[in-house]
Amino acid sequence: MTELTGAAAVVGLIGRPVAHSLSPRMHNRAFAHLGMDWVYVPFEVADDAVSAALAGVKALSIRGVNVTVPHKTAVIPFLDELTPEAAAMGAVNTIVNDSGRLVGHNTDGSGFVRSLREVAGFDPHGARVLVLGAGGAARAVAIALARAGAERVAVANRTESKAGRLAEAVARHGASSAGLSLAREPLAAELRAADAVVQTTSVGMAGDPSLPLDPDLLAPRHLVADIVYTPLKTPLLRAAEARGCRTLPGWGMLLYQGVEAFECWTGTPAPANVMREALLEALRGKEAEA
């Protein structure tokens, strides 16, 4: 790490827990690479301390923080402004302290879209996408896809009513949409015309061998993205590769939400390759430990 001076700028992460986060490694590696007098620090914040934590951000002139589970919605009442993306998603993952005004951004969705372009070489403009899941991450991804000009963003979820509510929100951002269950027939019909599938449920995480859909429904023309990043290659990505599909692993979204947060705070292009190396090193280390 670069030696810090008295003028060092501080950014960080608020959430609970934060000990597992890989963001400090990505950002501190980037600051060191660019020789910047900046540091990224994790702060564990209890549910009843969100307001105090944000008052602390202002009082200590912290330049900005990432926000993770469970505070992405809870921070909103304490912010001075939201970007249109954050307002549309109803969630904030990045706060910029603009000389005492706290501005809430959401780089989860835009980071996912950037990973589609930068890592997978897939342009969502005009594309037809099936999103599996309707939780917080699905909301960011589906709305960002609609805002990026996707023609259709259908949502399929175990709890179908939640898929329906997210589909209504997606449709307000200009894409055609539908809320589906995870039953085979509706998925098969949707996939016949789809260009890409984005898996946003927690299925397939860390040792879970299950698949969120039958891989027989996949065809080589589908790009299959999984936002789960532990393991690096999820059961769905393995099955999709075996079917001849192009794939996008979950580290892409994690990397580019960080790249975009870095750029929001510093106004400097982020060294994405350096951050990618730090992130993949940490993820491979976790896999070796498991």
Please give the positions annotated as active site.
72
Spatial distance between the Cα atoms of 179 and 41, rounded to a whole number of angstroms: 39
If residue 41 lies in a helix (H) or strand (E), which one and from where to where? Answer: strand 38-44
Size of the site for ligand NAP (CB under 6 A): 24
Interface residue with ligand NAP among 66, 107, 110, 200 (CB under 6 A) is 200
Interface residue with ligand NAP among 12, 15, 250, 271 (CB under 6 A) is 250
136 binds ligand NAP (CB under 6 A): yes
Instruction: State the CB neighbour count (10 A cutoff) for residue 167.
Output: 23
Q: Which residue's C-beta sits nearest to ligand NAP?
A: 135
66 binds ligand NAP (CB under 6 A): no
User: Which is nearer to ligand NAP, 179 or 212 (by Cβ)?
Assistant: 212
Task: For helices 23-33 and 251-266, give the axis angle rounded to 10 degrees.
Answer: 50
205 binds ligand NAP (CB under 6 A): yes
169 binds ligand NAP (CB under 6 A): no
Alpha-carbon distances of 32 from 21, 25, 61, rounded to whole Å: 19, 10, 21
Maximum Cα interatomic distance, the chain, rounded to a whole number of Å: 62
Buried/exposed code over 178-215 (b: 16+ C-beta within 10 A; e: otherwise): bbbbbeeebbeebbeebbbbbbbbebbbeeeeebbbeb
User: Which is nearer to ligand NAP, 56 or 135 (by Cβ)?
Assistant: 135
Q: Which stretch binds ligand NAP (CB under 6 A): 1-9, 48-56, 250-258, 270-278?
A: 250-258
Spatial distance between the Cα atoms of 258 and 88, rounded to a whole number of angstroms: 20
Hunting for tokens 């039958």 — which residue is that?
Answer: 214
User: Which is nearer to ligand NAP, 2 or 21 (by Cβ)?
Assistant: 21
Interface residue with ligand NAP among 11, 30, 88, 137 (CB under 6 A) is 137
134 binds ligand NAP (CB under 6 A): yes
275 binds ligand NAP (CB under 6 A): no
The number of residues in the chain equals: 290
Which residues lie near ligand NAP (CB under 6 A)? 108, 133-138, 157-159, 162, 200-203, 205, 212, 227-229, 250, 253-254, 257
